[in-house]
């Protein structure tokens, strides 16, 4: 064990220990041996499966409880002191009231378990953009996932020193064990109403209870790096965003860095590591989910990836859709909720690998191709070290970050929104970010065209404070900057569909064609036409060489339909009402200006 000189941290750990009453306390040192031991604890208890070491060396499979498979947005709370400082009234609870309720749940909740103390750094340790957190959790699964997703251990304690600032992250699966009781395969609170994912932004504190899955439990990710960090970013003049970061090298060897905000399951991981189909262009990865951006001395925005691993959606990942991810998850990867084949490998829908005649599905049951059930849960995930990504950029851990030239925003829209649209200026770009969204798709209703869930900057589930203030912060960032040095904002949509309900744009690696146009625009050579909604590529501006896409399809992808935009404006006005008095005036003005330009 290392020495901890931070008195306040030690006191907090003691306080939590007294409340949660674990059998033992383990301070994580972050070593590889410790990682292996934590995995082994679960394997020995029959709660995890090492995969075939010839096929997937260093890989393990875990199965969650069928009730604990994704983030629980309706149990996510922002407990700011004032209700109007929360993103919306329905996620707000008075902080002291919430703490009182949760203390009752936490009382004795770690009985029979080990309490892991996980010091972690979001971002390279010591970077001026990085921040430290300490997660206390009674889940070894959380501890070894945090080892992959963040930088943990002794080096963080060193960086924290005797009085460094850190975010307190408390997590329990909420399933104490009685004397001699055998553990459940995946302990968690039995009912959804017992789960809490709570944030106390003014205290920079997170309390999570009852779930062991993903963003509910790996508190460095959405809870800290987005919800709490967004509040820190507002107060300190920077941006904490739900964005991938990629590095693009053009045929002349010139390097460009691009961020992209797409909602969950809308293509961040895929874009971050795409294989460009346009000759001479190269894509490398900096990050696949979160970007923290600060102004450098030269007045440009610099981004770091605060994470150290990728927690990616497994189903649909194949050599065709994402060959780099496929290579990355061949070794040292934790799989959660995929199928286990008879030869100790994993399988999932959309893997491009033929379905085996038998496997054990994500629920632990026998499965055959005729079972009529999914072998892997739709939100099955891999946890894999970023450094294993075959196209990780050498500078991905540069403490200074990388200078951003363009920011993409966009959701899943089958109509209305063109393939790519360049903002006129910063405020117009923020406006485009504020109106992005996706069609609501449920298993039951697949074609409810027009029902759009607005998801500003892909942050709807991740706001840590009032959403109008959040957009005002984006406007302020622009107001206080040298406009010529700001990244340009582009509204993209890979998901427009034709009358047969098929995607018109091939997507994935072909998205490099859109990236190419964006870089051409930034360097002054790309062709565009001014339209009422923004600057769109002219019919021949996007390089379609070698792509089998008709001129008619391209026309469809870039179409601005007046009726659709009329409906769109009405729908945006409805959404803007939900901001009440906190809607920034500049955005209301942008909407009016666009309506005027459309001359509907």
508 near ligand GTP (CB under 6 A): yes
Looking up tokens 């970077």 gives: 127
488-492 and 452-454 beta bridge pairing: unpaired
Residue from 302, 311, 474, 494 touching ligand SPV (CB under 6 A): that is 311
183-376-379-198 Cα dihedral, nearest 10 degrees: -10
Stretch that binds ligand GTP, among 88-96, 158-166, 310-318, 480-488 (CB under 6 A): 310-318
Q: Which is nearer to ligand SPV, 458 or 504 (CB)?
A: 458
- The footprint of Mn ion on residues 291-320 (CB under 5 A) is 312
C-alpha–C-alpha distance, residues 563 and 555, integer Å: 17
**Using the rule CB under 6 A, is 512 a contact of ligand GTP?**
no
Quick one: which of 143, 206, 226, 313 contacts ligand GTP (CB under 6 A)? 313
> Do residues 409 and 474 make contact, with C-beta atoms less than 8 angstroms apart?
no
Any contact of residue 497 with ligand SPV (CB under 6 A)? no
Minimum separation from the CB atom of position 501 to ligand GTP (A)? 12
Rounded (5°) CA angle 138-144-147: 120
Binding string, 260-299, against ligand GTP, x = CB under 6 A?
Answer: --x-xxxxxxx------------------x----------
Binding-site size for ligand GTP (CB under 6 A) equals 19
The nearest distance, CB 269 to ligand GTP, in angstroms, is 4
Dist. CA 286–CA 306, nearest whole Å: 10
Candidates 400, 474, 405; CA nearest to 130 is 400
Q: Is 75 in the site for ligand SPV (CB under 6 A)?
A: no
- What is the four-CA torsion angle of 265, 215, 192, 88, rounded to 10 degrees? -80
- Full strand arrangement of the beta sheet holding 346-347: 346-347, 339-341, 359-360, 366-367
| Residue located via tokens 């089958």 | 414
287 forms bridges with which residues in the sheet?
Answer: 245
- Which entry of ligand GTP, ligand SPV, Mn ion, none binds 267, CB below 5 to 8 A by partner kind? ligand GTP
The CA-based angle 404-406-410, given to 5 degrees, is 130
By CB under 6 A, which span of 35-43, 214-222, 349-357, 426-434 interacts with ligand SPV? 214-222
The footprint of Mn ion on this chain (CB under 5 A) covers a number of residues equal to 3
Among 64, 130, 321, 336, indicate the residue that binds ligand GTP (CB under 6 A).
321
- Say whether residue 383 binds Mn ion (CB under 5 A): no
| Residues in CB range of 35: below 8 A, 6 or more apart | 144, 147
Does 269 interact with Mn ion (rule: CB under 5 A)? yes
# chain residues binding ligand SPV, by CB under 6 A: 8
Query: Which partner in Mn ion, ligand SPV, ligand GTP, none is near 351 (CB below 5 to 8 A by kind)?
Result: none
Cα separation, 133 vs 140, in Å, equals 18
In degrees, rounded to 5, the angle at the alpha carbon of residue 270 between the alpha carbons of residues 284 and 87 is: 110
Residues 421/491, Cβ–Cβ less than 8 Å? yes
DSSP annotation of 225: I
Pick the stretch among 94-102, 114-122, 249-257, 503-511 that binds ligand GTP (CB under 6 A).
Answer: 503-511
What angle do the packed helices 426-435 and 585-598 form, to 10 degrees?
A: 90
CB of 350 to ligand GTP, least distance (A): 7
Using rule CB under 6 A, residue 214 touches ligand SPV = yes
Q: What is the CA radius of gyration of the chain?
A: 24
Over the window 205 to 244, marking each residue x when it contacts ligand GTP by CB under 6 A and - when it does not, the resulting string is ----------------------------------------
Active site residues: 266
Structure tokens at 217: 């439990």
The one of ligand SPV, ligand GTP, Mn ion, none whose footprint includes residue 316, by CB under 5 to 8 A per kind, is: ligand GTP
Which parts of this chain interact with ligand GTP (CB under 6 A)? 262, 264-270, 289, 312-313, 316, 321, 494-495, 503, 507-508, 511
Return residues touching ligand SPV (CB under 6 A).
71, 214-215, 221-222, 264, 289, 311
């Amino acid at each position: 064990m290392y020495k901890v000189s931070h008195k306040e941290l030690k006191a907090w750990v003691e306080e939590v220990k007294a409340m949660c009453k674990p059998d033992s306390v383990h301070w994580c040192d972050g070593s590889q041996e410790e990682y292996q031991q934590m995995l082994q604890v679960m394997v020995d208890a029959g709660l995890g499966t090492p995969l075939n070491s010839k096929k997937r060396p260093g890989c393990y499979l875990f199965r969650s409880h069928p009730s604990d498979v994704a983030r629980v947005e309706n149990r996510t709370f922002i407990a700011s002191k004032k209700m109007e400082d929360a993103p919306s009234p329905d996620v707000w609870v008075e902080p002291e009231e919430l703490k009182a309720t949760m203390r009752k749940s936490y009382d004795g909740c770690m009985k029979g378990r080990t309490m892991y103390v996980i010091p972690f750094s979001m971002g390279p340790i010591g970077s001026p953009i990085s921040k430290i957190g300490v997660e206390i959790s009674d889940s070894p699964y959380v501890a070894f996932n945090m080892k992959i997703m963040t930088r943990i251990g002794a080096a963080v304690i060193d960086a924290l020193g005797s009085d460094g600032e850190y975010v307190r992250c408390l997590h329990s699966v909420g399933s104490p064990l009685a004397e001699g009781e055998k553990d459940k395969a995946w302990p968690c609170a039995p009912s959804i109403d017992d789960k809490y994912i709570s944030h106390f932004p003014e205290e920079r504190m997170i309390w999570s209870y009852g779930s062991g899955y993903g963003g509910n439990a790996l508190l460095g990710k959405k809870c800290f790096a987005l919800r709490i960090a967004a509040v820190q970013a507002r107060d300190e003049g920077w941006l904490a965003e739900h964005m991938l970061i990629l590095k693009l090298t053009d045929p002349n060897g010139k390097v460009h860095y691009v961020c992209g905000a797409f909602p969950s399951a809308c293509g961040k991981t895929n874009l971050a590591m795409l294989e460009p189909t346009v000759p001479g262009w190269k894509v490398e990865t900096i990050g696949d989910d979160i970007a923290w951006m600060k102004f450098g001395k030269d007045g440009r925005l610099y981004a770091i990836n605060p994470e150290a691993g990728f927690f990616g959606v497994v189903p649909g990942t194949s050599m065709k859709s994402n060959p780099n991810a496929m290579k990355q998850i061949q070794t040292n990867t934790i799989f959660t909720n995929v199928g286990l084949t008879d030869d100790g490998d994993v399988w999932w829908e959309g893997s491009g690998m033929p379905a085996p005649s038998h496997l054990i599905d994500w629920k632990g049951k026998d499965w055959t191709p005729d079972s009529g059930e999914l072998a892997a849960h739709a939100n099955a995930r891999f946890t894999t070290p970023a450094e294993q990504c075959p196209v990780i950029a050498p500078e991905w851990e540069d403490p200074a970050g990388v200078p951003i030239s363009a920011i993409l925003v966009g959701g899943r829209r089958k109509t209305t929104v063109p393939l790519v649209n360049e903002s006129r200026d910063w405020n117009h770009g923020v406006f485009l970010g504020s109106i992005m969204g996706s069609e609501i798709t449920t298993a039951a209703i697949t074609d409810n065209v027009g029902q759009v869930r607005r998801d500003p900057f892909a942050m709807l589930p991740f706001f840590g404070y009032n959403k109008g203030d959040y957009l005002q912060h984006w406007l302020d960032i622009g107001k206080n900057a040298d406009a010529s040095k700001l990244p340009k904002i582009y509204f993209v949509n890979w998901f427009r569909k034709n009358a047969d309900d098929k995607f018109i744009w091939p997507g994935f690696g072909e998205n490099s064609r859109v990236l190419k146009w964006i870089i051409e625009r930034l360097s002054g050579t790309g062709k565009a036409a001014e339209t009422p909604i923004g600057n769109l590529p002219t019919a021949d501006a996007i390089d379609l060489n070698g792509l089998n896409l008709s001129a008619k399809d391209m026309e469809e992808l870039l179409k601005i339909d007046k009726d659709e935009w009329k409906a769109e404006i009405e729908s945006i006005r409805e959404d803007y009402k939900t901001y009440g008095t906190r809607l920034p005036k500049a955005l209301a003005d942008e909407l009016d200006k666009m309506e005027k330009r459309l001359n509907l």
